[in-house]
Every structure is written in C-alpha cells, then in structure tokens.
Structure 1
C-alpha cells in the first residue's frame, strides 16, 4: 500500500482543480497591472510592438510570475476554500501576493534580472498587486 508523503498531502490540500479559472485570471491580472506600469514608464508600448514588445513585457513580469507560482500554492490561493468563497478567496490572493512580490523584487535585485528595485517600485508592486488581485478575486467570486 502506497502512502502520500507529507509534501504530497500538503500541496494536495492547497490545490483544487476547480481553481483553474482563478489561476488563469490571477496570471492575467498580474500581467495586466505590470503592463500598465510598463506603459506608464514607456518600457513597452501600446500595443506591445510585435514579438519583441511581448518578450519585454514577459521579461518584466517573469520574476513576479515565478514568485506567484511559488507562493500561491503554498499559501492556498488555489485551495477548495478559495474556490468556494469570495470571502476566503480575496484574503488568500492578497496573502499570496505579498511573498510573491517579495520574491519578484529579490530576483530583480540580482544582477541576472534587469530593472533593479527602488523603494517606490516595491511599494507600488505590493499595493497595486494586492488591490488588483483583490478586486479580481472579489469579482470572480461573484460570477465564477
């Protein structure tokens, strides 16, 4: 008889297949608010000019998407509770974004990722990301 390891059980309780629409929406929201920032600073145009513009956008978003991919499942952003209740979904998204953004910011602070980390940028990423994901999750909880 096979038994689950502690890690399998841990992640199994935090990832529900029914959360796929939330996951897709979360990634789109993260890319959208990062895109808005690149527009504000003129690093990517509207629309992103060809493949190069899309690659630039994804390069800016990649550290934060990686942070999200690490933090969100561990914190339970895709758990059954997140799927069942907007009341649970919103705080789970915000609690997931904080460490995800920190991971993204730490990656940007390395010489391997362009952009650097200014204090104002860090604050904007934490606040705008939290608000964007909270609004999305609230709306999703009403309609999904």
Structure 2
C-alpha cells in the first residue's frame, strides 16, 4: 500500500509534464541571467561563473521545492497553457519567497532589497508564463 505522501506527490508529478520542467528552468535561468548581465556585464558570466550560478541557485531551489507541491508538473499542467500557466504562477509566489529568504541568509551573497524582490518576482512570473505559453504554442 502506498503511503499518503507518495500518493500526494504521485498526483502532482506526471511524466508527460517533464518538458515543462526544462522550460521552467530555462525561463528562470534566462531572466536571472539577464539581471546578472545587466548589473555586471556579459563578461561576468565567464570571469565569475561561480558567482553567476550562485545567483540562480536560491531561486531554482525554491522552484524545485515548491513547484511539485503546487502541481506545476501534474497531469493537468501538461494538457494546455490554460492549465499550465496559472500553476506556474501560483508556484512562483512561494518559490520566489524561498529564493529571497536564501539570498537574505548568510548562505548566499547578494542580500535582499525590496526593489530586487519586486523585479525578480514580476520578471520571474512573466518569464514562466511566457515560456509556458510559447511551449504550448510551438507544441501545437
């Protein structure tokens, strides 16, 4: 007999939604990388690769924790943009909060400022929605 925890996760993760995970990671990495380039220049990506990647980690960790719990990769999410986009946006709200908390902690550099939070929150949500919309548009 499956435990209730296994059943909970089994209902929220469907193999058909796996391509969405790739789309989401690319969307978040792209928007965060754009911010890194905007503040530090494109050379920063090669001269400070570790620092660049550590900018992404808090938000990708937050996404990895929250998105399955919200159902961003459930069977419904794999069916249409109409289902997938709201799930991504709902997952992004607490995932971004986790990312902000991690950045504000001593574990990651960069800290947290309100304007940074607003920009990342909005840009991340728009990127997730836009990339998922484009995915379903191209998928047909």
TM-score by length of 2: 0.94
Paired position in structure 1 for 2:67: 72
Gaps of 5+ in 1: none
Deviations 1:97-133 (A, max 9, x none): 1111000000011112100000000111110000010
The aligned length equals: 139
The answer for unaligned runs of 5 or more in structure 2 is: none
Which runs of 4 or more aligned residues in structure 1 lie more than 4 Å from their structure 2 counterparts after TM superposition? none
> Which residue in the other structure is 1:21 paired with?
19
Structural mapping, 1:5-84, within 5 Å: 5-42=3-40, 45-46=42-43, 48-49=45-46, 53-84=48-79
Cα distance, 1:56 vs structure 2: 2.0
Contact 2:100 2:112 in 1 (8 A): yes
Matched with 1:130 is 125
User: Would the aligned equivalents of 2:44 and 2:52 in 1 still touch at CA under 8 Å?
Assistant: no
Q: Contact 2:32–2:56 (CA<8 Å) still a contact in 1? A: yes
Give 1:19 shift: 1.1
Length-normalised TM-score, structure 1: 0.92
Contact 1:89-1:141 at 8 Å conserved across structures: no
Question: Normalized per residue, which structure has more helix?
Answer: 2
In 1, Cα distance between equivalents of 2:9 and 2:72: 11
Q: Any idea what the Cα deviations from partners look like across 1:36-76, whole Å, max 9, x if unmatched?
A: 0001111x624721xx5332221000000000000100000
For residues 16-51 of structure 1, the C-alpha deviation after alignment (integer angstroms, 9 at most, x for no partner) is 111111101110111110000001111x624721xx
Preserved contact between residue 45 and residue 53 of structure 1 (Cα < 8 Å): no
